[in-house]
Amino acid sequence: MITETNLRVRYAETDKMGIVHHSNYYVWFELGRSDLCREKGFSYLEMEDDENTRLVVAESRCHYKSPAFYEDELSINTRIGRVRSRSISFFYEVVRPATGTLIAEGETKHIVTDTNNKIRTMPQKYRDLLTTDD
Amino acid sequence: MITETNLRVRYAETDKMGIVHHSNYYVWFELGRSDLCREKGFSYLEMEDDENTRLVVAESRCHYKSPAFYEDELSINTRIGRVRSRSISFFYEVVRPATGTLIAEGETKHIVTDTNNKIRTMPQKYRDLLTTDD
Amino acid sequence: MITETNLRVRYAETDKMGIVHHSNYYVWFELGRSDLCREKGFSYLEMEDDENTRLVVAESRCHYKSPAFYEDELSINTRIGRVRSRSISFFYEVVRPATGTLIAEGETKHIVTDTNNKIRTMPQKYRDLLTTDD
Amino acid sequence: MITETNLRVRYAETDKMGIVHHSNYYVWFELGRSDLCREKGFSYLEMEDDENTRLVVAESRCHYKSPAFYEDELSINTRIGRVRSRSISFFYEVVRPATGTLIAEGETKHIVTDTNNKIRTMPQKYRDLLTTDD
């Protein structure tokens, strides 16, 4: 399953080069993760606030293929990589649908922790939701 | 007393206009507040984490006089406006010392709350430190 | 005419207080301005890139009424204040429609410049579009 | 040669998890690159504005080892990876000197372009400065 998140590039996301600053792609990946959780049937907010479970970013990487510009309408395509008891990874593609251009692709790896930053196992409820394929 | 905070403009703080995005001035004002607290003899972090006291921003304003550019070396001059039992205000000037240019001036007004966002009175210890003139 | 912009609060927009950092409201106001231009029949991007006309922020202010949280669905309601030949102002309200809560209200004032930061008059085409009431 | 950049974590760089948002590490890496250029004897700003040469980010990655907190005093240690005629890479370590903690390590790879985003060769002057070891 791939989750599609649509966004329009914000002025504040550009830099003096006239293109989107590369750090913002990681913020967009995060939007993709939130939407993926929502599509899988739960809210990342509730998991964090109600279930003492956080997905702390352990690694992130991005390969920038083509620049993005102010007011570009982009899609973030997010899918789950590997789900383990104490870690999870996600893959992302940023595309400009109007031109079919691949803007970037990336990955984030997460450790499951409690709200005190201690590693814990992911509650079975979320693991089931994340690994259900539909 | 005026507290001086020195910074160099970051690439990520610029936008496609080639100048610093106006939202970043509020981040710089915050650096000024932190440094002012430090000069007054306490850490804003400790006040927040150890004393259950936050200075939530209730109002902010900025008057932009002259643009700031990547790698500009700027000073934020911060001073306290009015200290009351449950509120406090700060004034800021952003200047480029090399050219004597006034870049911006602004103000923030804060409400004193606990970490549950309830209004509270400022602990006397901090009120004394903030109002001591030296 | 009021332009409504809908957004969901991003994780990266929160701070350690657990609420949206106050600087982000100015980024949201900017989204409101872009959408207002679009509703008025033109693209801010084209005005800037094709017509050598920029609306540089000269003043900004925000009054924060109630905190906003991660994943909050908010509306930015934007309207034009005063349009003059070389300046323009906008007013904003940030509301949480689900609860009817007023989150913040603010204003920005802009100077019309060319891409070299020289003050110029707003092209009549845009002035007409901005002042047409519908 | 390793370039050391010192910074104090900004409030706005934290998120609701109470730690620095992972996207900010890439902004810090950029500070490291600017300082490295300065130590090597040139300004990244001048290279970009005067010599029509940009180092566009083609890839970025970060491995987060230990969280960073508001007001942490950190050092970014930056060194050059490989310099080629049309590309360059940098390596970074983020450390908290007070505790000797490794906070993160990362890398960025850059393509040399002109200001129209066309790939070009790096001017010999900069290549010499970047590859001189001292």
State residue B46's pLDDT score: 92
- Determine what percent of chain C is predicted with pLDDT higher than 90: 93
State residue B73's pLDDT score: 98
The alpha carbon of residue B60 is apart from the nearest alpha carbon of chain A, in Å, by: 19
For residue C66, the SS3 value is coil
Q: Do B30 and D10 touch (CB under 8 A)?
A: yes
State residue C134's pLDDT score: 58
Q: What CATH number is attached to the domain comprising B121? A: 3.10.129.10
Has A15 been annotated as catalytic?
A: yes
The alpha carbon of residue D61 is apart from the nearest alpha carbon of chain C, in Å, by: 18
pLDDT digits 0-9 by tens, B26-39: 999 999 999 999 99
- Exposed/middle/buried for B15, CB within 10 Å: 0-12, 13-18, 19+? buried
**How far is residue B20's CA from residue B62's CA, in Å, rounded to a whole number?**
14
Q: Report, as an integer, the average pLDDT of C75-95.
A: 97
Predicted confidence (pLDDT) at residue D133 exceeds the cutoff of 80:
no
- DSSP states of chain B: --EEEEEE--GGGB-TTSSB-TTHHHHHHHHHHHHHHHHHT--HHHHHHHS--EEEEEEEEEEE-S---TT-EEEEEEEEEEE-SSEEEEEEEEEETTTTEEEEEEEEEEEEE-TTS-B-PPPHHHHHHHH---
Name chain C contacts of B48, Cβ cutoff 8 Å.
17
Q: Report, as an integer, the average pLDDT of B57-67.
A: 98
Q: Report, as an integer, the average pLDDT of A112-125.
A: 93
- Exposed/middle/buried for C48, CB within 10 Å: 0-12, 13-18, 19+? middle
Chains contacting chain D through 3 or more C-beta pairs under 8 A: A, B, C
State residue B134's pLDDT score: 58
The residue range of the domain holding B24 is 3-131
Q: pLDDT band for position A115 (50/70/90)?
A: confident
- ipTM of the predicted structure? 0.96
What is the set of active-site residues of C?
Answer: 15
Closest by Cα among A103, A82, A108, A83 to A93:
A103
State residue D101's pLDDT score: 98
Of D16, D23, D70, which is closest to C18 when you measure between CB atoms?
D16
pLDDT greater at residue D50 or residue A82: A82
Q: pLDDT band for position A50 (50/70/90)?
A: confident
Q: B56, B33 in Cβ contact below 8 A? A: no
Q: Which of the residues A10, A19, A26 would you substitute to probe the C interface, choosing the one with the greatest number of C C-beta atoms within 10 Å?
A: A10
pLDDT greater at residue D132 or residue C126: C126
**How far is residue B43's CA from residue B56's CA, in Å, rounded to a whole number?**
16
SS3 annotation, A5-24: EEEECCHHHECCCCCECCCH
Q: Report, as an integer, the average pLDDT of A8-15.
A: 98
Q: A57, A27 in Cβ contact below 8 A? A: no
Q: Report, as an integer, the average pLDDT of C73-97.
A: 97
Q: Do B27 and C23 touch (CB under 8 A)?
A: yes
**How far is residue A76's CA from residue A29's CA, in Å, rounded to a whole number?**
7
Where helices occur in chain C by DSSP H, the ranges are 24-40, 44-50, 124-131
**How far is residue A48's CA from residue A123's CA, in Å, rounded to a whole number?**
11
Q: D68, D19 in Cβ contact below 8 A? A: yes
| Side-chain-facing half-sphere of B110: CA atoms under 13 Å | 24
**How far is residue A24's CA from residue A31's CA, in Å, rounded to a whole number?**
11
Closest by Cα among B96, B86, B91, B88 to B107:
B91
> In A, what residues contact D, Cβ < 8 A?
17, 19, 22-24, 26-27, 48, 54, 56-64, 67, 117
What is the set of active-site residues of B?
Answer: 15
pLDDT digits 0-9 by tens, D14-43: 999 999 999 999 999 999 999 999 999 999
Q: pLDDT band for position D134 (50/70/90)?
A: low
Q: Do C16 and D21 touch (CB under 8 A)?
A: no
Q: pLDDT band for position A134 (50/70/90)?
A: low
User: What average pLDDT does the structure give for chain D?
Assistant: 96
User: What average pLDDT does the structure give for chain C?
Assistant: 96
**How far lies D107's CA from each of A59, A61, C26, C104, in Å?**
12, 9, 32, 40
**How far is residue C81's CA from residue C1's CA, in Å, rounded to a whole number?**
11
Q: Do D12 and B27 touch (CB under 8 A)?
A: yes
B33-39, long-range: CB within 8 Å, 24+ apart, which pairs? B33/B78, B33/B90, B33/B108, B34/D8, B34/D11, B34/D71, B35/B3, B35/B4, B35/B5, B35/B76, B35/B78, B36/B3, B36/B78, B36/B79, B36/B80, B36/B90, B37/B130, B39/B1, B39/B3
Structurally, how many domains does chain C consist of?
1
Name chain A contacts of C37, Cβ cutoff 8 Å.
none
Predicted confidence (pLDDT) at residue C79 exceeds the cutoff of 70:
yes
D119-127, long-range: CB within 8 Å, 24+ apart, which pairs? D119/D86, D120/D52, D120/D53, D120/D86, D121/D85, D121/D86, D122/D53, D122/D83, D122/D85, D122/D86, D122/D88, D123/D47, D123/D51, D123/D53, D125/D42, D125/D51, D126/D42, D126/D47, D126/D51, D126/D53, D127/D83, D127/D85
Chains contacting chain A through 3 or more C-beta pairs under 8 A: B, C, D
Q: Which of the residues C33, C36, C70 would you substitute to probe the A interface, choosing the one with the greatest number of A C-beta atoms within 10 Å?
A: C70
* Nearest 10 degrees: Cα torsion C42, C53, C126, C75: 50
Q: What is the DSSP letter of C9?
A: -
Q: pLDDT band for position D117 (50/70/90)?
A: confident
Q: Report, as an integer, the average pLDDT of D51-63.
A: 96
Closest chain A residue to B21 measured between Cα atoms?
A12
**How far is residue C27's CA from residue C22's CA, in Å, rounded to a whole number?**
10
Closest chain D residue to A107 measured between Cα atoms?
D61
- Exposed/middle/buried for A15, CB within 10 Å: 0-12, 13-18, 19+? buried
What's the predicted TM-score (pTM) here? Answer: 0.97
State residue D33's pLDDT score: 98
> In A, what residues contact C, Cβ < 8 A?
8, 10-12, 27, 30-31, 34, 43-45, 69-71
